[in-house]
Amino acid sequence: MEAKTAAPQPFALSLEFFPPKSDEMEAQLWEAVEQLSPWQPDFVSVTYGAGGSTQEPTLAAVRRMIGDARLATAAHLTCVDASKQEVKAVVEEYRAAGVRRIVALRGDPTTGLGTAYLPHPEGFSDTADLVRTLVAYGDFDVSVSAYPEKHPESPDIAADINTLKRKADAGATRALTQLFFDNDIFERYLEKVRAAGIAIPIVPGIMPIQNLTQMKRFARRCGASVPAFLDDRFEGLDDKPEERAKVAADVAAEQIEDLMRRGLDEFHIYTMNRAPLVSAVLEQLGRCRRQAASVGAAA
């Protein structure tokens, strides 16, 4: 008698995209959206540059994801280098486009990472201040950020968790984490978050590794560590794209499976606007997939 295979464990899923900056990137984005929509994400999000540098592309992408792709879409929103009235004007544009989910962020200083953040004199003092305003509308689901290895500007993890608590107390629905690769680090962080009285879901942010060298550079800027085992897993695969892609899918799927064993059931995947690797991860996890539907021609 054959042993029965355990049914895939269900989990909530959100996917993150970034707005395009060229015609080529535009085509890549919508190809990725079309290929990933069948995986039935609970929602998708579209990023937003420092100081609103991608405000118009973000709004255009959000409108198309809602109108053509029929995806529940969260628009990112920052408060850096903008007055409260300017931010509220963007919120009204989002609402008019049908947005009812927002990822509220402080935003990186326009002077670059590592420089001091200075609130706009007529702007929101911090993310918690922005969250309170969004929650007051009464019809927004508000996500915020969390940092298992602390934000690069935080003096220590306790101060970072205190910042998260202010956002949660302001009414945030959930926190989406910065990328991480060591689940023990995340579990210790989650224990401290709960001990601080923060009850909102802390959703692991998963970054499938498209290119390990580039990932290391990005992780350093984010203050995230890259475990040595990843070098071992990818060793000798620089000139073997098919094998490298398989290992990358294995690594991300194994990370999610381990987190599910630890009790997590909601994940946020950073797609980098590339579908094949993300699809391979979701297929390995046994997620249900429906028939693809075209997102339509670009306006």
CATH code assigned at 243: 3.20.20.220
Residue 8 has pLDDT above 80, yes or no: no
> For 285, phi and psi rounded to 5 degrees?
-80, -5
Residue 173 has pLDDT above 70, yes or no: yes
Q: Let me know if residue 298 belongs to a domain.
A: no
Q: Let me know if residue 6 belongs to a domain.
A: no
Q: Let me know if residue 254 belongs to a domain.
A: yes
Give residue 298's pLDDT: 46
Q: Let me know if residue 121 belongs to a domain.
A: yes
How many Å apart are CA 297 and CA 299, to the nearest integer? 6
- 17: which strand partners? 46
Residue 286 has pLDDT above 90, yes or no: yes
Q: Let me know if residue 159 belongs to a domain.
A: yes
Look up the domain containing 75 and give its range: 12-284
In this structure, which amino acid lies at residue 156?
D
Q: Let me know if residue 77 belongs to a domain.
A: yes
What pTM did the predictor assign?
Answer: 0.91
Residue 236 has pLDDT above 80, yes or no: yes
Give percent of the chain with pLDDT exceeding 70.
Answer: 88
Q: Let me know if residue 203 belongs to a domain.
A: yes
How many Å apart are CA 195 and CA 206, to the nearest integer? 24
Mean pLDDT, rounded, for 52-79:
88
How many Å apart are CA 134 and CA 131, to the nearest integer? 5
In this structure, which amino acid lies at residue 104?
A
Question: Can you list the alpha helix ranges (DSSP code H) found in the chain?
Answer: 23-36, 55-67, 84-96, 127-137, 157-169, 183-195, 212-222, 229-234, 241-261, 275-284
Q: Let me know if residue 297 belongs to a domain.
A: no
Residue 116 has pLDDT above 70, yes or no: no
For residue 5, name the pLDDT band (cuts at 50, 70, 90).
very low
The chain-wide mean pLDDT, for the chain, equals 90
Catalytic residues: 16
Number of folded domains in the chain? 1
Six-digit token string for 221: 């800027």
Mean pLDDT, rounded, for 258-286:
97
Six-digit token string for 167: 């956002």
How many Å apart are CA 59 and CA 45, to the nearest integer? 11
Give residue 113's pLDDT: 58
In this structure, which amino acid lies at residue 277?
L
